[in-house]
Every structure is written in structure tokens, then in C-alpha cells.
Amino acid sequence: MGISDRIEAFITELLKDDTDEWLELKRNELASVFGCVPSQINYVISTRFNPEHGYIVESRRGGGGYLRIKQIKQEDGLIMQTITLTGNSIDEKTAKAYLSNLIKQNLIDEKCASVIMSGISDSVLTIPQPEKNTLRANIFKSMLAAASN
């Protein structure tokens, strides 16, 4: 098991045990526990604890800096949070990751996700960038809203 996997497993375990809404960690302290540089912690957080994987992360850098992580729960309105996180632009890869997370949370089924992907894939949206990602975001948000009813 690599260091990134160990850090992820450690944070995941803390999230399971945490009774508060947010898990707060000190980047430097966590780096010293694992004998790595703080940028390794940043890497794990940005690649494994992001909205696409069902997490919200707040970060503050500096001496008193911290990482706050919250797992988005079904009762938190994950579909509505996904719509909000999508913003005004989204690429195909990110949309697929969001849909995968919604399937894992049993908020949409694979057939629904497939229908959404068929309407927002690069092969269907044949307009140039950045308009493509803007149009994709609008369609994606509309379809998610319809799926949540």
C-alpha cells in the first residue's frame, strides 16, 4: 500500500468515527504523522476527497492552516449539491464522475445516468469550447433536477 493509499485510508477512518459535521485536520501535523511533505497531503485531498467523490473540502494555508472535510450525505441533498457544484461549466469526465457518485449513493440508477450521459457527451455536443462545457452544464443541471423529482 502506497503512502497516498495509507493517507486516504486514515482520513476515511477518521471520517467514519467523527461525530461532528466536519473533520478538521492540520496539514503539517498529518504530514509529520506519515513522514511526508504537506504537498503529498494536498495531492491526496485534491484527488480523493473532492466533490466528484462525494466530499466537500475547505482549506486554509499558512501556520494556522487547516483542512476541513465533510462527506456529503444523501440527506444533505446530494443531487442539489451536485447541481450547485456544477456551476456554469463542466467537462465530460467530471460529469461522469458526478453521475458515478450519484449511482453509488443510490440517488439515480444506471439507466438514468446513461440517458444523462447520452445527452451531454462530447460526441453529441458538437460546438467549440468553451461553449461546449457551458451548454453541457446547463443540460446536466436540468436533467439532474428532473431526475430528482
The neighbour count for residue 127, using CB atoms within 10 Å, is: 11
Please choose, from the candidates 40, 77, 27, 36, the residue with its C-alpha nearest in 3D space to the C-alpha of residue 56: 77
With b for 16 or more beta-carbon neighbours within 10 A and e for fewer, the 43-74 pattern comes to ebbeebbebbebbbeeeeeeeeebbebbbbee
CB 49 within 8 A of CB 11: yes
Cα separation values, 74 from 4, 27, 106, Å = 27, 28, 9
Q: Across residues 5-26, what is the average pLDDT?
A: 86
d(CA 133, CA 115): 18
CB-CB neighbours of 96 under 10 Å: 16
Q: What is the pLDDT of residues 72-98, one digit of tens each?
A: 665 558 888 888 889 889 999 999 999
What are the pLDDT digits (tens) for 116-142?
999 999 999 999 998 999 999 999 988
Q: What is the mean predicted confidence (pLDDT) over 33-48? A: 92
Cell numbers for 98: 458526478
- Using DSSP's 3-state secondary structure scheme, residue 68 falls into strand
Number of alpha carbons in the 13 Å side-chain half-sphere of residue 102: 27
User: What's the grid cell of residue 8?
Assistant: 486516504
Instruction: Name the pTM for this structure.
Output: 0.56
